[in-house]
Amino acid sequence: MSDVPHVKVPVQLEEGATLPQYQTAGAAGMDVTCTHDVVLQPGERASVGTGLRVMIPEGYEIQVRPRSGLAIRHGITMVNSPGTIDSDFRGEIKILMINLGSDVVTLSKGERVAQLVLAPVVRAEFMIADTLDETERGTGGFGSTGQ
C-alpha cells in the first residue's frame, strides 16, 4: 500500500497504552487496545480507556469502529458506531462498548477492542430550497427498495 497517502498524527500515550497498529498491509483500520481489564455483563455498557490522546490534523477525523471478531464471538460492539473523534478534541480516546451477547465477557488489558480509521472531512453548507429534484425512490425509506 505504498501508494496510499500517509498523514502524521501526533499522539501521547498514558501509562499502559500502546500505539494503534495496522495488522495487515491492506488494513483500513488500526487496532486500538484497552489500558485496563473490563468485565461486561450481558446488556452492560462501558467506557473503555485506550490511554491515547491525539492531535488530528485539521480537515480530518478519526472514526472509531467495532472489531468484527469481538462482535461475532461475543456480541461485543460499540454503542455509537462509528464514533467520531474531531480534530479539536484532546482528551483520552475512549471506546463506548456494549455487550449484546448472553454471556459475561472479560476484556484483558492490552486486548484489541476497536479500530481507528483516519478519514478526510468535507464540510456541508445547507441551503434552504423551495423544491427538491424528484427521484424514482422519492420519499420511500427503511426498506422501501426491497430486500
Question: Which CATH class name applies to 11-120?
Answer: mainly beta
- 8-20 mean pLDDT: 96
> What is this structure's pTM?
0.88
Residue in the structure block whose three cell numbers are 430486500? 147
Residue 56 has what pLDDT? 98
Domain residue extents for the chain: 11-120
pLDDT in tens, 59-75: 999 999 999 999 999 99
CB atoms within 10 A of CB 47: 11
Residue 5 has what pLDDT? 87
Helix runs in the chain, H state only: 68-74
- 56-60 mean pLDDT: 97
Q: If pLDDT is split at 50, 70 and 90, which confidence band does 142 have?
A: confident
pLDDT in tens, 85-137: 999 999 999 999 999 999 999 999 999 999 999 999 999 999 999 999 999 88
Nearest residue to 61 via CA among 33, 89, 34, 81: 89
Residue 143 has what pLDDT? 78
The percentage of residues in the chain with a pLDDT greater than 70, rounded to a whole number, is 97
Q: Is the pLDDT of residue 147 over 80?
A: no
Residue-averaged pLDDT of the chain: 94
- 35-43 mean pLDDT: 97
- By the 8 A CB rule, do 93 and 78 touch? no
Task: Report how far apart, in Å, the C-alpha atoms of 95 and of each of 1, 30, 31, 84, 123 are.
Answer: 28, 14, 12, 11, 25
- By the 8 A CB rule, do 53 and 11 touch? yes
Residue 2 has what pLDDT? 67
3-state secondary structure of 90: coil
